[in-house]
Amino acid sequence: MKVLFNIQAPNKAIEPKLIDKINNLTKPKGSLGTLEDLALQIGLIQQTLAPQLHHPQNIIFCGDHGIADEGVSVSPKEVTWQQTIHFTHGGGGVNFLTHQHGFGLKVVDAGVDFDLPYERGIINMKVRKGTRNFLHEAAMTEDEMIICLMRGAAMVDICEQEGSNILSFGEMGIGNTSPSSIWMHLFAHIPLAQCVGAGSGLNSQGISRKLQILQQAVDNYSGDGTPSDIIRYFGGYEMVMAIGAMLQAAEDHVIILVDGFIMTACMLAAMQLYPDVKHYAIFGHCGDESGHQLLLNAMDAKPLLHLGMRLGEGTGAICAYPIVDSAVRMINEMESFQQASITKYF
């Protein structure tokens, strides 16, 4: 794959000043734990001692998967288009959280197998009506993968033009835990059986069958084994758009709030292409999908929350936002020992 993004780790020249500011706030050194880590990370991302959060938004990429035809999900395929429309009504799981935390919401058709009512506010970036069945052939062509990356990046550009400097990404796509499990297996070198879970509610027999199908798909794979080829062969349109969005956000020094199992798998895939993307990622939560904790461990990622969630849509990332906000408020609103005329007590 040709180089599409220019992603570099944040310049660390400002790091000593950030650490000094955090350490000299009116508290024992390290006593605000993760908030201090987040403040340092965000200060580095924004290259400032006074970071700010502006206009948070959540982008939901929606798409169907050919592998769903193999019965790897307990949910019927039509749920993808039904939920995509439902988000525009304001009554979905993600909607009450975006309302609560002041997030903008964008719903993107990446590849839903349905003629959606775009007049309701759904953004039409459809590549195709669902990916191909990767049990038998590649899910998408290389050209389709590039289109997905670029359209995901374009969504970030739109949000930045609206003033956003922190974004979360979500997904809607029946069957998308299957490509996530395969990416986890191939990129993190974790046995496939430990990567495959219940998805939207499979029982033990269903999980066993899902594992058998995914193992056969991996065995059938005849690509060149490069990260971009693995992403192309097994990925979903909505997932590859999310990768493109993450990469564009990192290039532009926008904070990325990573959601659950599927978005964590997308971040893992993005890291295979551009490892420095991780510097811009804050992992919102560890979900209840089997394998998510293992995946986070493999990435050396520390999630902010453990709430037993497995809905997707960006819900866990949005729930974590107030903690990120607290970290920024800490570094900006707490006084130093000198300002407060308090003797250092550590």
Q: What is the mean pLDDT of the segment spanning 58-73? A: 96
Report the side by side order of strands in the sheet with 57-63. 123-124, 104-111, 57-63, 166-172, 255-258, 281-283
Tokens of 7: 């992603």
Tokens of 108: 């993107």
Q: Domain check: are 24 and 93 in the same one?
A: no
Q: What is the mean pLDDT of the segment spanning 224-245? A: 98
Say what the pLDDT of residue 261 is. 95
Confidence category of residue 310, pLDDT binned at 50, 70, 90: confident
Residue 1 pLDDT more than 80?
no
Structural domain contains residue 115 = yes
Say what the pLDDT of residue 200 is. 65
Q: Residue 37 sits in which domain range?
A: 12-51+330-340
Q: What is the mean pLDDT of the segment spanning 41-65? A: 98
Q: Give the DSSP per-residue string, 205-218.
A: HHHHHHHHHHHHHH
**Global model pTM greater than 0.85:** yes
Q: How far is CA 251 from CA 38, 48, 56, 343, in A?
A: 19, 17, 18, 42
Q: What is the mean pLDDT of the segment spanning 143-159? A: 97
Q: What is the mean pLDDT of the segment spanning 220-241? A: 97
Task: Provide the CATH number for the domain around residue 228.
Answer: 3.40.50.10210
pLDDT in tens, 242-252: 999 999 999 99
Q: Domain check: are 262 and 276 in the same one?
A: yes
With beta carbons less than 8 A apart as the criterion, state whether 157 and 249 touch. no
pLDDT in tens, 117-139: 999 999 999 999 999 999 999 99
Q: Which of 111, 99, 112, 119 is nearest to 151 (CA)?
A: 111
Confidence category of residue 198, pLDDT binned at 50, 70, 90: confident
Task: Provide the CATH number for the domain around residue 28.
Answer: 1.10.1610.10
Q: Domain check: are 62 and 194 in the same one?
A: yes
Q: Domain check: are 17 and 75 in the same one?
A: no
Structural domain contains residue 93 = yes
Say what the pLDDT of residue 344 is. 85
Residue 3 pLDDT more than 90?
no
Residues belonging to the active site: 313
Structural domain contains residue 4 = no
Q: How far is CA 78 from CA 49, 65, 116, 119, 299, in A?
A: 48, 11, 12, 20, 33
Q: What is the mean pLDDT of the segment spanning 188-194? A: 95
Q: Domain check: are 107 and 17 in the same one?
A: no
Q: Domain check: are 153 and 16 in the same one?
A: no
Q: Which of 273, 314, 343 is nearest to 94 (CA)?
A: 314
Say what the pLDDT of residue 287 is. 86
Q: Domain check: are 111 and 44 in the same one?
A: no
Q: Which of 44, 59, 52 is nearest to 278 (CA)?
A: 44
Q: Domain check: are 25 and 163 in the same one?
A: no
Q: What is the mean pLDDT of the segment spanning 189-195? A: 95
Residue 74 pLDDT more than 90?
no
pLDDT in tens, 13-39: 999 999 999 999 999 999 999 999 999
Q: Which of helix, strand or coil describes residue 249?
A: helix
